[in-house]
Amino acid sequence: MPLQTPPLRGAHDERGAKFTEFGGWDMPVEFDSIRTEHAAVREDVGVFDVSHMGQMHVTGPDATTLMQRLTSNDVSRLAVGDSQYAAITNEEGIIIDDTVVYRLPNETTASSGEHGEPTYLFVPNAGTDEETHERWISYRNEWGLEATVDNRTDEYAMFAVQGPNAPTLVDELTDESVADLARFEAQYATIDGVTCWIARTGYTGEDGFELIIPWSEAEHIWGLIDCLPCGLGARDTLRIEAGLLLSGQDFDLESNPRTPYEAGIGFTVDLETEFVGRDALEQVDVEGVDEKLIGLQLIDRGVPRHGYDITNTDGRVVGTVTSGTMSPSLDKPIGLGYVPTEYAEPGTTLQVVVRGQSKKARVETTPFIDTV
Amino acid sequence: MSFDIPDDRQYLESHEWALETDGVVRVGITDFAQDELGDVVFVELPGEGDHLKQEDDLGVIESIKAVSDLYAPVSGEVTAVNEALFDAPELVNEDPFGEGWMLEIDADDTAELEALLTAEAYEDQIA
């Protein structure tokens, strides 16, 4: 299958980017250097093209009910312009994907009248948009709900402007001020005549915004964002330092099935709401988890990587590293992984097996760095 | 993008370089290889006195995003390891043909080097 290309593939290529396959997309992994890009986001500001993220649009009289029943958080709490992080779980409470759900201004149609109908945008991970769309349609039909579900992934580009100086930079671009948006708030704003959805969200641990822009205007708007372009390589090191999960790696329905509680995102689960997976998760909430996600730091020389075994000090395999890197901010080898809860206490000594050699490691609290 | 490929030394298809002086072969990775890897954060090298065979794994180099094996261009005994790389692996990025060298091998038989690529042949390979 040919790779999908973001609207800016050509512009990134001219800028000297290296590319990688990610979720079926051909995306820039590195422009100048991961270290330089990482530092720009931690200390100043950088911009990522994340147009590989899915864009799902749900509207209609039953849109709130549909979203409530298919995501783990409490969608009914979202006012227009709010957003929330949520898990999409199956009947067993296992995470299929994680997403951010945005409440858009109500969509007014001929039938809905002047107040319009509740409308949501949610952003599933790269390459999952088609199956997510099918899931929403299939449950909507099964439950007989009245809602339109559109997969608009190919209609919108998404840029993440991240870093302590991101608010100033984005606010200068928009006609309307966006500087007063709180974390997880969003609004429509105009950039050089183009209406964009601008949200104070991100995946780096820094302050910043995500901009959702009509695909046809992507190159135009990208050209106006005057800061260092950053690739998926820096996005990965930044999110690992911030202790944020990567779908398909830190959890995966097939290869690494986890509940939100195991994955450390129990805060996305609202058991007061009705959703697919709720009953199973209530059980887990009562009984507790056997394993959980930890942060770890290697004390010996080496770099923890996805798939490496974690052992206890006797050398018995007790878990697996799911993400790891040499942290550019801390200059220390760090990672995420799962271990039985008895080993999950910060300060616990463990080992990571690097090419057959046991390297001493220590359980750390996440995030590894101070985040917004 | 163009890469440095000094013609005073020889090359492996796996992107190591070998510079022979009086039977001792200094080894590193090429400018092309360091650019492909990106920021180097870790090198794992054999100890002095270890004996290597041509084409053996001689160590590992890791960047932030990738792990890559290193191969011996010649058989012989390791006589020096660039310990500066343990604290400053970024030297591989900054000066791959100079300060970023990795180790020296006292070659058993320098005739083995005839199997390596010339600068010109290596340039064709990465073109």
Is there a domain that residue B67 lies in?
yes
* Of the candidates A35, A328, A36, A44, the residue with the CA atom closest to the CA atom of residue A164: A44
Which chain B residue shows the shortest CA-CA distance from A35?
A: B39
Portions of chain A given CATH number 3.30.70.1400 = 56-139
Which chain A residue shows the shortest CA-CA distance from B35?
A: A33
Which chain B residue shows the shortest CA-CA distance from A325?
A: B64
Are A149 and A58 spatial neighbours (Cβ–Cβ below 8 Å)?
yes
Q: What CATH number did the domain enclosing B86 receive?
A: 2.40.50.100
pLDDT at A279: 98
Is there a domain that residue B32 lies in?
yes
Interface test with A, best of B35, B39, B43 (most A CBs within 10 A): B39
Contacts of A328 in chain B (CB under 8 A): 39, 64
CATH value of A290-364 in 3.40.50.10860, 3.30.460.10, 2.60.40.10, 2.40.30.110: 2.40.30.110
Nearest Cα of chain A lies from the Cα of B22 at a distance, in angstroms, of: 34
Is there a domain that residue B18 lies in?
yes
Is there a domain that residue B124 lies in?
no
Interface test with A, best of B37, B41, B61 (most A CBs within 10 A): B41
Contact B64 A355 (CB under 8 A): no
DSSP string, chain B: ------TTSEE-TTSEEEEEETTEEEEEE-HHHHHHH-SEEEEE-PPTT-EE-TT-EEEEEEESS-EEEEE-SS-EEEEEE-THHHH-TTHHHH-TTTTT--EEEEES-GGGGGGSBPHHHHHHHH-
Contacts of A34 in chain B (CB under 8 A): 38-39, 63-65
Each residue's pLDDT tens digit, A190-245: 999 999 999 999 999 999 999 999 999 999 999 999 999 999 999 999 999 999 99
Contact A34 B65 (CB under 8 A): yes
Is there a domain that residue B89 lies in?
yes
The residue ranges of chain A whose pLDDT is under 50 are none
Range of the domain at B101: 10-110
User: In a 3-state reduction of DSSP, which class is residue A14?
Assistant: helix
Contacts of B42 in chain A (CB under 8 A): 301-303, 326, 333
Is there a domain that residue B116 lies in?
no
pLDDT at B1: 63
Are A29 and A231 spatial neighbours (Cβ–Cβ below 8 Å)?
yes
Is there a domain that residue B3 lies in?
no
Distance CA A348, CA A358 (A): 16
Are A238 and A202 spatial neighbours (Cβ–Cβ below 8 Å)?
no
pLDDT at A300: 96
**Rounded (10°) angle between helices A129-143 and A63-70:** 120
Domain A9-52+154-241: give its CATH architecture. Answer: 2-Layer Sandwich (3.30)
DSSP string, A31-59: SS-HHHHHHHHHHS-EEEE-TTS--EEEE
Q: How many structural domains does chain B have?
A: 1
Q: How far is the CA of A57 from the CAs of A4, A11, A30, A190, B1, in angstroms?
A: 20, 28, 31, 20, 42
Interchain CB contact of B69 with A (< 8 Å): no
Nearest by CB to residue A355, choosing from B60, B65, B86, is B60
* Of the candidates B63, B50, B54, B64, the residue with the CA atom closest to the CA atom of residue B14: B54
Q: To which residue do tokens 């080097």 refer? A: B113
As for the ipTM of the complex, it is: 0.89
Residues of the binding site of A:
210
Contact B42 A237 (CB under 8 A): no
CB pairs under 8 A between A and B: 41
Portions of chain A given CATH number 2.40.30.110 = 290-364
Which chain A residue shows the shortest CA-CA distance from B43?
A: A302
Portions of chain A given CATH number 3.30.1360.120 = 9-52+154-241
Per-residue pLDDT of chain B (127 residues; tens, 9 = 90+): 689 999 999 999 999 999 999 999 999 999 999 999 999 999 999 999 999 999 999 999 999 999 999 999 999 999 999 999 999 999 999 999 999 999 999 999 999 999 999 999 999 999 8
Contact B62 A326 (CB under 8 A): yes
Is there a domain that residue B126 lies in?
no
pLDDT at A40: 98
Residues of the binding site of A for substrate:
210
Are A31 and A79 spatial neighbours (Cβ–Cβ below 8 Å)?
no
pLDDT at A113: 76
CATH value of A56-139 in 3.30.420.40, 3.40.50.1820, 3.30.70.1400, 1.20.1250.20: 3.30.70.1400
